[in-house]
Chain A
Amino acid sequence: MEYRDYYKILGVARDADQDTIKRAYRKLARKYHPDVSKDPDAETRFKELNEANEVLKDPEKRAAYDQLGNNWQAGQDFRPPPGWGQGFESQGGGYTQMDPEAFSDFFETLFGRGGFSQGAAAGQDFYSRSGRGAQRGGNSHAKILIDLEDSYVGNARTITLKHSEFDADGRPRLQERNIQVKIPKGIMPGQQIRLSGQGEPGTGGAAAGDLYLEVEFKPHSLYHLDGKTVYLDLPVAPWEAALGATVRVPTPTGTVDLKIPPNSRAGSKLRLKGRGLPATEPGDLFVVLQIALPPADSEAAKAAYQQMAKTFQFKPRAGLGV
């Protein structure tokens, strides 16, 4: 088990007063809240912060933690000193507001042997399981990351869900299960998929709850999305834009030949009707033209540019008043 430096996690000195600790915690909690932060480690950081705060905000727990001494380094192999756990009134009072699975073994060894107070965990975790009163099983939530193509085709995806279950000794244990989900055709980011009966099991023979999956899209190398509308940035040569051309263009449903009208400008949008995300009224695919300049990297290329300069009395900065 690794020692955790709660002072370091909150970025405060070991002799910091309670107000300083509170301020440091609140500031970092805002920064690393998983709904706010885009940091991939935000959820881990947020849990660490809460664990550190849980200990340091409580004078009793803090005093107990301080008793371990300050010679420990974060990550160092930790074994509780002999006789640890005797004489602390707060034993068993851990996890007051928190999700038990969010806390480390280190915390649990120090403060958490007395069992878990269940039920207050809702909303703390991104895959939270309610476990509250009703006969029917609780609903579960998870996120699912899919590709744009999955939404076009309605692919089946296997996802792995992790959740904790309490074993016979009342200790949470991480369980994994795989389920295969057929992605509904035309689903958009932020939408929910409901899987009936895949939530928490009911008690006393009652029905299981439902599983809700929040859909997120992986960033795509070619396309980006706005609702049902899909955009593709298409580089074209200056002469293709100026003279018009028919070019091969990728779309999520296959390559098409696209006619570029003469005198097209950079940023022009060409619409491929109905080639956005599928739906009763499918979205459109917009091809946005980008003019790609060929490099002047040879004598012939330079000559061609010089020829253009002579041919066009072109004043690109005419609108700037200089």
Chain B
Amino acid sequence: MTGNNPNTSLVAEEDFHLTLGELCRVCQISTEQVLALVEEGVIEPAGPEPGLWRFQVLSIRRVRCAHRLTQDLGLNLAGAALAVELLEEIEQLRARLRRWERLER
């Protein structure tokens, strides 16, 4: 793991989609947990059925956040789903607030 030559640029992918299995592996959670998060509407896959689902990369962030909240704070999924959405909304509001505060200076 160490001694990685910092001079080699790595190939970075950004615009990729994940299958159900990939999302589970990336976020280290079970299929059931992902299904439950889809059920709560925290993440919305494209595709007609679980076998053909494709998740956006932004799903990773949401799933991990929801998972951490359930683990660390004992929230249930509905609570975590609400928290994830509220946190994102706060983030957007903070960005707008920063902008207005800057204007006032």
Contacts and interface: CB of A to CB of B under 8 A. Distances in A.
Given A29-B73, A30-B73, A192-B57, A165 B11 contact: no
Contacts of A111: none
Contact of A178 (B4, B16, B25): B4
B1 A183 contact: no
Interface in A115-133: 122-124, 128, 130, 132
A194 B99 contact: no
Contacts of B65: 35
B47 interface: no
Contacts of B57: 191-192, 194
Contact of B26 (A38, A156, A163, A210): A210
Interface string B2-33: 11101111111111100000000110110000
Contacts, number: 115
Nearest to A36: B87
Nearest to A141: B64
A46 B69 CA distance: 13
A181 B26 contact: no
A178 B61 CA distance: 23
Contact of A179 (B6, B14, B26, B71): B6
Contact of A123 (B16, B61, B64, B95): B64
Given A192-B14, A192-B60, A194-B13, A178 B6 contact: yes
Contacts of B2: 175-177
A181 B6 CA distance: 9
Contacts of B26: 139, 210, 212
Nearest to B92: A226
A177 B1 contact: yes
Contact of A290 (B3, B15, B98, B103): B103
Interface string B57-74: 110110011011101111
A193 interface: yes
Contacts of A138: 28
Contacts of A181: 9-10, 12
Interface of B: 1-4, 6-16, 25-26, 28-29, 57-58, 60-61, 64-65, 67-69, 71-74, 83, 87, 94-95, 98-99, 102-103
Nearest first, the 10 A-B pairs at minimum CB distance are A184-B14, A178-B6, A122-B28, A192-B57, A194-B13, A182-B9, A193-B12, A123-B68, A130-B28, A195-B10
28 contacts: A26-B73, A33-B73, A34-B68, A35-B65, A38-B94, A46-B72, A122-B28, A123-B28, A123-B29, A123-B72, A124-B72, A158-B6, A163-B1, A175-B1, A177-B2, A180-B8, A180-B10, A190-B58, A190-B61, A192-B61, A194-B12, A194-B16, A196-B11, A212-B26, A224-B95, A233-B99, A233-B102, A290-B103
Interface of A: 26, 29-30, 33-36, 38, 46, 122-124, 128, 130, 132, 138-139, 141, 156, 158, 163, 165, 175-184, 187, 190-196, 198, 200-201, 210, 212, 214, 219, 224-226, 231, 233, 290
